[in-house]
Amino acid sequence: MSFLDKISTWLFKFKYRKDIPISKEYVIHHSLLKEKIEEEIENYLKKYPFHNLFSLYNLTEVIASEYGGTCSDRTIQFKKILNEIFQYNSVNIQLHRAFINGKKTHTILKIEIDKKTYFCDVGMGFPINRLLPSHKNIKFNNYGIKFKSVVNNNELMIYIDEGQGEQELMKIVNEVQNQEKIEEEISQRWDKRHELPFHNKLRYFFIHNNKYYQIKDNDLSFNSLSVKVFEDEK
């Protein structure tokens, strides 16, 4: 059994957690919508892992699996969850593409609440449990990781600090994006023309027992395997 087979067998034990419920649909006052959506973000991050095992095993037809996945898998799945929960509320939820390392390859959600625009990123793998507003700067910590969002006209710059200093995480442009085009791009995301940052590398991030785990391997061997554990500070 190869290293990838061994670690995949172990990692799939951390499939979606049945003990964390997904809320039923409800109608709430518009002033509470942001808070309720952030509660659903927190639940989702604890329930579904980020990983690229499907791409490593060439299971490229899998999208929005209950076993988690990459940014597009997770974002499409979470969009469906939010639409079901908030179907009786005035919330507009759309797919959106953001920039990582200068490439527009990352899938997030654009959410309009009470005439204000927010962005939601459950797909990165990092525990970003807050909505990112397009109208103001914010800072927050989660599992000891610092996040910062800086607004500059129609752009949001998102920064992360895992303890080694602040680094740029992604850039979001607040613009209208064609949903059909995004869906087409997602369907072609494993095309060799669109090489992703974790191509041919293992990535598996998850939350378990109030700890956030990052498992990485840059050449699919035990030689470069690294595991980081971040404690919940709450």
Q: Is the pLDDT of residue 25 over 90?
A: no
pLDDT in tens, 155-169: 999 999 999 999 999
In the predicted model, is pLDDT for residue 132 greater than 80?
yes
Burial class of 53 by CB neighbour count within 10 A (0 to 12, 13 to 18, 19+): buried
Please name the amino acid found at residue 229.
V
Residue type, 16: Y
Q: So what's the pLDDT on residue 165?
A: 95
SS (H, E, C) 84-111: HHCCCCCEEEEEEEEEECCEEEEEEEEE
User: Which residue from 126, 176, 123, 132 is spatially nearest to 151, judged by alpha carbons?
Assistant: 132
In the structure encoding, which two tokens stand for residue 159, read together? 């920064």
Q: Give residue-wise pLDDT tens across range 84-114.
A: 988 888 899 999 999 998 989 899 999 999 8
- What's the pTM? 0.86
Q: Which residue has the higher pLDDT, 113 or 10?
A: 113
**Regarding predicted confidence, which is higher, 67 or 52?**
52
- pLDDT reading at 233 higher than 80: no
For residues 148 and 12, which has the higher predicted lDDT (pLDDT)?
148
Q: d(Cα 166, Cα 56) in Å, to the nearest integer?
A: 30
How much is the pLDDT for 129?
96
Q: What is the mean pLDDT of the chain?
A: 84
Q: Are 144 and 224 in contact (CB under 8 A)?
A: no
- Give Cβ neighbours of residue 193 (< 8 Å, ≥ 6 apart): none
Long-range CB contact pairs, 174-178, < 8 A, 24+: 174/110, 174/117, 174/134, 177/94, 177/95, 177/96, 177/97, 177/110
Question: Which pLDDT value is given to residue 232?
Answer: 77
**Amino acid 88: pLDDT:** 80
Return the pLDDT at 146: 96
